[in-house]
Chain A
Amino acid sequence: MATVTASTPRVLPTGLLRHRAVHKLLLIALAAAVLVPLANARWASGSWPSALTVDLTSPLSKASDWIIDNRDSHPLFLYFFGYVSNAVVISVRAVYLVLLGAGWAGVTALGALVAWRVAGVRLAVGTAAAFLACGLLGMWVPTMQTLALMVVAVLASVVVGVLLGLAAGLSRRMDKILRPVLDTMQVMPAYAYLLPVVLVFGMGVPAAVLATVVYAAPPMARLTALGLQSADKEVLEAVESLGTTARQRLLTARIPLARKELLLGLNQTIMMALSMAVIASVIGAAGLGDRVYQALASVDVGAALAAGIPIVLLAVVLDRVTGAAGDGTEPRGRAGWAYALAGAVVVAVAGRLLGRLDWPDTWTLNIAEPVNRAVDWMTDHLYSGVPVVGGTADWAGHFTTWVLDPVRDGLQGLPWWSVLLIVATLAWLIGTWRTALTAVLAMAAIGVLGVWTPALDTLSQVLAAVAVTLVLGFATAVAAARSDRVERLLRPVLDVFQTMPQFVYLIPVVALFGVGRAPAAAAAVVYALPAVVRITTQGLRQVDPAAMESSRSLGATSWQQLRQVQLPLARPALLLAVNQGVVLVLAVVVIGGLVGGGALGYDTVFGLAQGDLATGLVAGAAIVCLGLMLDRVTQPTERRTGKGA
């Protein structure tokens, strides 16, 4: 989950680096001295000048009207989108009917036996337990619906991803063209493109599957390309010397050599697809996501959790099983597979004969009530009036007044050109003039789209949430890196944080922090923390033991060791953690819009709710631009890694 392929930055001698930094600063100062008075004389306003904006409202509304008017008659819909849509419906239905036909016993047996063949006995037991838990929670049928949807969406994502990945892996130029496309697919909040997809395909499963593919295909594409590009040169030369054609080389050498990356890509794609299961429920995807969403409407945390747990279980099981397949340590044989398949069929048939196809109603466990009671207790006792430390509502208020407000007002108070200058300076100091240019253009695009002020509001929330995430994340990671036990205890907690649908914790977050920007920040921290902790822990642990040993022999205390040896040596990992923190926090901006975060997140939700393509898409595009800018400003390395891939 969110495994990140770390890469080493170019290391320059400090002297040279300092020299270049001064150079860059001088150049920027010179450019500013020339350009700023010009800009200021022409558009003196502090906020983005309205003369430099483009209003997309009318073309976007026209486009949406055209789609609605022509959807039932235009050949494009009748002969293309209609078929796509039908194909999705038919395949999801087929998978669903097979799952229902196998019955709960058959599905559980099949899952466990596959896990056994791929990953060993322990995971087989875990898989069976996870399926049974879904049934126990009274979620069998929704789980099967989600599973059917996932199977089709993941297959489609893998096909799309591998095709894109092949193109990028075999041609440098395609790679260059595709990279920004993949970036956009991942950073664009799903909410923003749900509406266009719904306009074309209508509510329901086809739209949900296609939205999922847009979101889940990029990691597959990236890792396929990476696998192809990093194939061992010597092996390839050896194969070439045998006089093979390019196609034979691809099929017999390059693809098999990239097996590990391909499996990691599959793993990432499954995780991304599952995380869309809930968001897609907003446009009628049914299944577990829909249960979570409906529970949210009646403010019922317990019911939302009952539907959220199966999602977590599915995610953890699928992650571990596909992860084990990627390691490829378990012995495999055809005979074993045959036994496994036969076993599953036997169990399924036995289930049918016993008339136990549906999960028995009496075997369910009602967790909603105790959970709701626990949430009520928490909010009753923590909300306010806790001695000495104050209640969570007070913290939220202070955080808003002392952190969020000043940062927002500061950013919005800056003249627009100075924001661009700051972005340029930061990006250039950390990267190349190209990254600086991208960052500045992205920021300028936000102004041109006419959402400068709300975008800076969102930016202030992102910065504050990232700061909190980093403080908490680094502290936790230091503890985890120093003690194996802490790390072991932490692992399931991080898994849950990372895979639990965000809709489940919206209500507790509001109950604790009230409505506003503070709960939005809290939700973002919960979501981004696991990745930051994981990357940092890994980075700290990989610090050369020899360096640690020698510092200890010199009599350094534990604190000195951490500060002077471990942290500096783990710098690349820390930077990557910062970058991932920023990207992930930004990914929850829309969720923040649902709890009072306002700004771009609210606009995106508004666009979908009101069928207003102009508001929703423009806000979504602005979020992409913010993401692009923040990524360039925080990512010093040449190769960048996207969200989760």
Chain B
Amino acid sequence: MRVRAIAVGGALLLLTGCGAADMTKQASPFANAQGAKSVTLSVQSWVGAQANVAVAQYLLEHKLGYRVDTVQVDEVPAWDALSQGRVDAILEDWGHPEQEQRYVKDKKTITAGGGLGVTGHIGWYVPTYFAKQHPDVTNWKNLNKYASQLRTAESGGKGQLMDGSPSYVTNDKALVKNLGLDYQVVFAGSEAAQITQMRQFAKEKKPFLTYWYAPQWLFEKVPMTEVKLPAYKEGCDADPAKITCAYPHTPLQKYLNTDFARSGGKAAALLKRFKWTTEDQNEVSLMIADQKLTPEEAAKKWVDGHTSTWKAWLS
């Protein structure tokens, strides 16, 4: 092993020792450690993304014989990593027009990998138990009436609208201002903190108003109802400062590193064909996040029960 380490080191030195050091051609030092073909997937911090990766990883490892490394990265840095070949694929992207322009259209270092089959939607939600008691809370026009009930120590004298991780797309501060709502946006700072707080509220059947998104496994645990915002129209979110409309429905996309897409063989082919439904994703997410199965166990369970779905990805 020691000899091999030196040999590998020496070979790399020879390869890079003369001429330019290409920074786009560096894999992780932990990849291919025991002589296997490997794929690196980017995992985002939410569980839906973990579910995609878990299933893709399981299939790549057990059906195609790859070794899979996963790296957890925030969304925007992940695009950068993808363009440099540090990761080979992002399986769930919620729309980053600026990055798309730069890397897919201009630099062509990233290739679109097709749709994931899941449609994402961001919105404002209240717990269903609260919506049942006060049905009119589900329209934004009545939100001010409930501001006092949604007050917390953090929100000062106003109602609290809880936002999550800084990596998420959000117009909430502008929305609150432009719609004249008596609310304070409180940033939980991370999805983990936000989920923990929501579950704590739900345990006590306390009312709350939160930024949240679907598909999400938490809906199975804490049923929530969406608050209607002024309808989304194409282009109504063009000026972030003047925004007064809801968030769009986004078909989630996959992206591959261009080199990998070209020469990634069966792995790249599988990742391009990978396409499933919201229900499928939720099933796996819930096993990971709530039943605390490891992502691998959860993926195995799903794979065992849905042969027809993934068989199509392999052929």
Residues of A that sit less than 8 Å from B by CB: 68, 71-72, 75, 77-79, 81-83, 85-86, 89-94, 96-98, 100-102, 145, 148, 195, 198-199, 201-206, 281-284, 286, 290, 293-294, 296-300, 302-303, 368-369, 372, 379-380, 383-384, 393, 396-398, 400-401, 405, 506-507, 510-511, 514-519, 592-598, 601-602, 605-606, 608-611
Contact = CB atoms under 8 A, between A and B. Distances in A.
Given A97-B1, A516-B154, A595-B189, A89 B33 contact: no
A518 B9 CA distance: 50
Interface stretch (B72-80, B224-232, B264-272): B72-80
B238 interface: no
A198 B5 CA distance: 27
Contacts of B34: 100
A290 B50 CA distance: 14
B203 A596 contact: no
Contacts of B76: 609-611
A203 B87 contact: yes
Given A202-B81, A610-B166, A515 B30 contact: no
B178 to A, nearest CB: 21
A609 B87 CA distance: 17
Contact of B16 (A83, A300, A302): A83
27 contacts: A71-B84, A85-B26, A86-B26, A96-B30, A96-B33, A98-B5, A101-B4, A198-B77, A198-B80, A282-B72, A284-B28, A284-B72, A286-B69, A290-B71, A296-B190, A297-B192, A383-B203, A398-B153, A405-B156, A510-B188, A516-B154, A593-B166, A602-B187, A602-B189, A608-B74, A609-B75, A611-B77
Contacts of B24: 72
B71 A96 contact: no
A572 B12 CA distance: 55
A199 B154 contact: no
Contacts of A296: 45, 190, 192
B101 interface: no
B200 A514 contact: yes
Given A78-B21, A81-B23, A294-B43, A400 B153 contact: yes
Contacts of A75: 20
Contact of A82 (B21, B71, B77): B21
Most chain A beta-carbon contacts within 10 A, residue among B74, B86, B189:
B189
B292 A302 contact: yes
Interface string B249-288: 0000000000000000000000000000000000000001
A78 B72 CA distance: 27
Nearest to B71: A284
B2 interface: yes
Contact of B2 (A77, A85, A101): A101
Given A82-B20, A93-B9, A514-B152, A596 B193 contact: yes
A97 B5 contact: yes
B171 interface: no
A596 B162 CA distance: 10
Interface in B4-59: 4-6, 8-9, 12-13, 16, 20-24, 26-30, 33-34, 43, 45-47, 50
Contact of B80 (A92, A302, A611): A611
A298 B189 contact: no
B72 A297 contact: yes
B102 interface: yes
Contact of A202 (B16, B23, B192, B194): B23
Interface in B60-117: 69-78, 80-81, 84, 86-87, 102
